[in-house]
Structure 1
Amino acid sequence: MNKFSDESVYSFIEYLQIERNYSDYTINFYKKDIEQFALFMNAQGIKSFSDVEYVDARLFVTELYNKKLARASASRKISCLRSFYKFLLREELVKENPFALVIQPKAGVKIPNFFYEEEMNVLFEACMDSTPLSIRNLALLELLYATGIRVSECANIQLKDLDFDFSTILVKGKGRKERYVPFGSFAFDALQTYIHHGARNELMKGQETHQYLFVNSRGGPLTASGISHILKKVIESASLTGKIHPHMIRHSFATHLLNNGADMRTVQELLGHSHLSSTQVYTHVTKEHLRKTYMNHHPRA
């Protein structure tokens, strides 16, 4: 691409970082989507972003469909390029947004998988051991289920983020947004045991002190991939079957709260969702739960 295009992309990325406060993870996707569109432009002989017309945008989307791209991925790319051109319009670098009228594919509602309460109890029992690793794993599992935080958020928790007086934790979420999330008595006890009864210190093994809450077997900070690996091992040891992944604990947190009467706005705030629509997907789970309960217990069902 020419100098104008390179500067446009750089300015847009800077805008996402500073004004929109997007995470590096999200910005990476934006970069890749724009790079893919730039390759398409080169193939079509289009020299500048300002030369792109609506028909070119439609052709790009058609190519996405021809590649059998998932609807969610295609929708994300269209949304990215629409935002990019909206920024270029604001900066008066283009005269129109060729993606403004491009229709995004409607994604079907994907109902999240979750663990039933009985299955969660099986997971907790799989961590009931006196070894430092088992004590850590129980504290990890209890905190994830008690708060519904993401695995990536859990990896960034430091000791100073815990407030045992109020049973709350400071969570640094997507887009560098911070929120306080409460945790219950089971997580409280498991964390106290892990931190204050020697398990964490034993795992540290005299390593240089750091303040991350969860540590690996070598004493270093536990990464998000490390947490996922541990959870998968716990799930395997519990002999649970079916399509299972660690993020289901977050889904279980939200589903169980709603099943037991929590309001949608509260669950949204606890999960750190920017939009209520992200939380509403869990109502499909609760409606199915209500339907099954009704069918099993109503005498006229």
Structure 2
Amino acid sequence: MQISEAIEGYLSHLADVRRLSAATVRAYRSDLSDLARASGDADLDEIDVETLREWQWDATTAGLSKATAARRTSAVKGFLSWAREEGMTDVDPAQRLVAPKRGRTLPTVATAPALSEVLTDAKEAARDGDPIALRDHALLELLYGSGARVSEICGLDVDDIDHERRTLRVRGKGDKERVVPYGRPAAEALHAYLVRGRPALSARGEHAGAAVFLGVRGGRLGPRAVHSVVSRTVAPAVGADSLGPHALRHSAATHLLDGGADLRSVQEILGHASLGTTQIYTHVSAERLREAYRLAHPRA
């Protein structure tokens, strides 16, 4: 069986059986399609460890990041392991591959005062009732106030909001569901948008459905549009050339720890499967610990 044919079966397995996110499946498709091209779409049995190592080396010389190279290795390991289990091939040369170690970089975090100023400006802009301004204010408040992923916010339906308890039911990676809280400022902005902004946007099209956040044509708002909103409003305020919605999630996690929240609670809010993923924010908050030591320890 040719690699390209097997790849389609594996991607279907990832989407339908393992329920991986659409973004992960797209990334794996890109990685494995590149392997198919590099090998001339050879038969699965013709793939050996040397072919895979050469493919890895091409990624390194092309200047791909360690994280991308590690993902490519993970993609091919999973693919060939699955192909062997399915009886498509008798060998699994990917078992001998070693993934490059990912470099751990600290996330970009905006300060609480800077974000407060951004949100105040967004609130002022929404006072005249413009539906887009109302939407953007609610969007920014909810991204920062809940720490949810942009895909989770874009996937919100009206019934996912518990206004009384101020919680959201979101669907994270692997289609796992969790409940996250949000604060009073986000609740007020969300209420104003749902009452005055969303109906106006919904009237512009016929594809709104149950989606909470809508675009200018009345359809469900997508991650690219959210990125544009954050980049336009938040990035200039924090002195960055560009900034994505994930920076608000990073900021929420860091500010929770700065305020005294325990690591397990932050892990639960963010929906991290591993506590180790959440622990990176303790490095961001190290300055808070140093300041506490300086102020409290007699020998500081």
Q: TM-score range by the shorter chain?
A: 0.7 to 0.9
Residues 14 and 225 of structure 1: is their aligned pair in 2 closer, same or farther, counting only changes over 3 Å? closer
What residue number does 1:88 align with?
A: 83
- The number of aligned residues is 294
State the distance in 2 between where 1:105 and 1:270 align: 30
Task: State the TM-score, normalized to the length of structure 2.
Answer: 0.87
Secondary structure at the counterpart of residue 29 of structure 1: helix
Residue of structure 2 aligned with 1:201, choices 199, 202, 217: 199
Aligned amino acid, residue 222 of structure 2 = T
**What are the residue-to-residue correspondences of 1:156-195 with 2, within 5 Å?**
156-195=155-194
Residues 61 and 225 of structure 1: is their aligned pair in 2 closer, same or farther, counting only changes over 3 Å? closer
What residue number does 1:40 align with?
A: 38
Residues 242 and 4 of structure 1: is their aligned pair in 2 closer, same or farther, counting only changes over 3 Å? closer
Pairwise CA distance, 1:207: 4.9
Aligned amino acid, residue 199 of structure 1 = G
What residue number does 1:26 align with?
A: 24
Residue of structure 2 aligned with 1:115, choices 110, 119, 124: 110
State the distance in 1 between where 2:201 and 2:52 align: 55
Secondary structure at the counterpart of residue 180 of structure 1: strand
Pairwise CA distance, 1:47: 3.4
State the distance in 1 between where 2:241 and 2:298 align: 34
Q: Is the 8 A contact 2:154 2:221 kept in 1?
A: yes
State the distance in 1 between where 2:217 and 2:58 align: 48
Aligned amino acid, residue 28 of structure 1 = R
Residues 69 and 163 of structure 1: is their aligned pair in 2 closer, same or farther, counting only changes over 3 Å? same
Q: Which runs of 5+ in 1 are unaligned?
A: none
Pairwise CA distance, 1:115: 1.3
Aligned amino acid, residue 167 of structure 1 = R
Secondary structure at the counterpart of residue 65 of structure 1: helix
Aligned amino acid, residue 260 of structure 1 = G
Among all aligned residue pairs of Structure 1 and Structure 2, give the percentage whose two residues are the same amino acid: 32
Aligned amino acid, residue 26 of structure 2 = N
Aligned amino acid, residue 47 of structure 2 = V
State the distance in 1 between where 2:215 and 2:77 align: 42
Q: Is the 8 A contact 1:155 1:222 kept in 2?
A: yes
Residues 40 and 244 of structure 1: is their aligned pair in 2 closer, same or farther, counting only changes over 3 Å? closer
Runs of 4+, deviation exceeding 6 Å: none
1:52-94, CA deviations, whole angstroms, 9 ceiling, x for partnerless residues? Answer: 2223322222222222221111111111101111112212333
Q: Is the 8 A contact 2:2 2:42 kept in 1?
A: no
1:100-123, CA deviations, whole angstroms, 9 ceiling, x for partnerless residues? Answer: 122211122110011111111111
What residue number does 1:131 align with?
A: 128
Task: State the TM-score, normalized to the length of structure 1.
Answer: 0.87
Residue of structure 2 aligned with 1:101, choices 89, 96, 100: 96
Secondary structure at the counterpart of residue 100 of structure 1: helix
Q: Which runs of 5+ in 2 are unaligned?
A: none
Q: Is the 8 A contact 1:126 1:234 kept in 2?
A: no
What residue number does 2:261 align with?
A: 262
State the distance in 1 between where 2:135 and 2:258 align: 29
State the distance in 2 between where 1:176 and 1:228 align: 22
What residue number does 1:282 align with?
A: 281
Aligned amino acid, residue 223 of structure 1 = G
Q: Is the 8 A contact 1:162 1:169 kept in 2?
A: yes
